[in-house]
Amino acid sequence: MKKIRQFLGSAAALLAGVLASSPSLSSDADSWPNRPVRVVIPYAPGNTGDITFRLIQNQLEAKFGVRFLIDNKSGASGNIGAEDVVRSAADGYTLLLGSTNNYVTNSSLIKGMRFDPVKDLAPISMISNAPSVVVVNANLPVNTLTELTAMAKKEAGKLAFASPGNGTPPHLAAELYKQLTGVELIHVPYRGSAPAVQGLLGGDTQIYMTALSSVAGNITAGKLKALAVAGPQRLTVLPNVPTSAQQGIPELITGNWWGLSAPLGTDSKIIQKLAEAIQVILSDPSVKQKFFELGVSPVGSAPFEFAKQIAQEAMVWKKVIARSGLQPE
């Protein structure tokens, strides 16, 4: 029996050693990654996050020597995909590429969420930021944000703004604009961005605050007018369109950003490896130019910077949502 116990003990120790040293099973941060990394995007293909991540996908694969596989997992305002990541192993092989609402607004808009994005995800880096652009129907007799505000105050409750749905970033952007200026506007929610743009073009609504990618073609064609960029600086592709701050509303900073995170508990070495790689890739002039052409700013923040922004914005939007009267659904 003694020899059997010694044999079993030796076998167990040998097996433990094999498992620990096996490249395919090791979760050691120093050997990460040694197999493909799954990047969950909690929306259907073709969104801004999907497009911009593909601009850096090849560079990440070249840097780490493994595939970074996009997994579009949509539903429940992005909560299905986000929760999948939260519940995944914290080994660096499942990541979330989420948008603003995944990190800071869904928790105030959706009743009974089974996770807290602020507490249950480890921020890695913000990839991109698409500031909202205030656009109006070309027939509306205003050419600046200041003129729009004056008109909205004069015709209180008569102008309507479009959104792709209740609680979406464009909806919340307009609610913030209303609260900062005191104007009264009618909200017309549509089922998606494309119908919202069509409603604006048809004159059913007069205002839309959205990412440039949704309206760029119609601005170029003269069917819509861009009045302001609700970001810290002007967009390279809209050099003549001033920011909201340059028109007297500095607090109107809003948009839809995308950031990478991992399940809580992921080794900080893995987090740092990813963040540093992203920062290097996004500093490449050719990559930056591709982002700018989309009306999107490349960011590449450090993990602590991204975490700080998530916490701060969650508080800000919670107050905006509460003041707007929106009820969790």
Q: For residue 51, what are its two tokens?
A: 């497009």
Residue 50 main-chain phi, psi, to 5 deg = -60, -45
pLDDT for 110: 87
Residues forming a β-bridge with 129: 257, 297
Specify the pLDDT at position 328: 65
pLDDT number for residue 3: 44
The upper half-sphere exposure of residue 63, i.e. CA atoms within 13 Å in the direction of its Cβ, equals 17
User: Alpha carbon 226 to chain centroid distance?
Assistant: 22
Question: At residue 246, does pLDDT exceed 80?
Answer: yes
Tokens for 63, please give them.
Answer: 């840097």
Residue labelled with tokens 């652009």: 133
pLDDT value, residue 279: 97
% of the chain exceeding 90 in pLDDT: 69
- Split at pLDDT 50, 70, 90, the class of 13 is very low
Q: Is the pLDDT of residue 20 over 50?
A: no
Looking at the domain 9-129+256-324, which fold is it?
D-Maltodextrin-Binding Protein; domain 2 (3.40.190)
Is 70 exceeded by the pLDDT of residue 8? no
- pLDDT score of 236: 87
pLDDT at 17: 38
Per-residue pLDDT, averaged over 9-17, amounts to: 39
| pLDDT for the residue 293 | 85
* Cross-strand partners of 39: 70, 95
Ranges 19-33, 178-192, 220-234: which has the least confidence: 19-33
In whole angstroms, give the CA distance from residue 52 to residue 231. 19
- Asked if 96 contacts 81 with a C-beta cutoff of 8 angstroms, the reply is yes
Residue spans per domain, the chain: 9-129+256-324, 131-247
Mean model confidence pLDDT for the chain: 89
Rg (CA), the chain: 23
Task: Residue 133: name the closest of 243, 223, 53, 31 by CA.
Answer: 243
Does 56 score more than 60 pLDDT? yes
CATH superfamily of 131-247: Periplasmic binding protein-like II (3.40.190.10)
Judge whether 9-129+256-324 and 131-247 match in fold. Answer: yes
pLDDT in tens, 58-113: 999 999 999 999 999 988 888 999 999 999 999 999 999 999 989 999 988 888 88
User: Residues near 151 by Cβ (< 8 Å), separated by ≥ 6?
Assistant: 140, 141, 142, 159
Once rounded to an integer, what is the mean pLDDT over residues 195-212?
Answer: 94
* pLDDT value of position 22: 39
Residues 6 or more apart whose CB falls under 8 angstroms from that of 132 comprise 169, 170, 173, 209, 210, 211, 229, 230, 231, 254, 255, 256
Q: Give the pLDDT score at 45.
A: 83
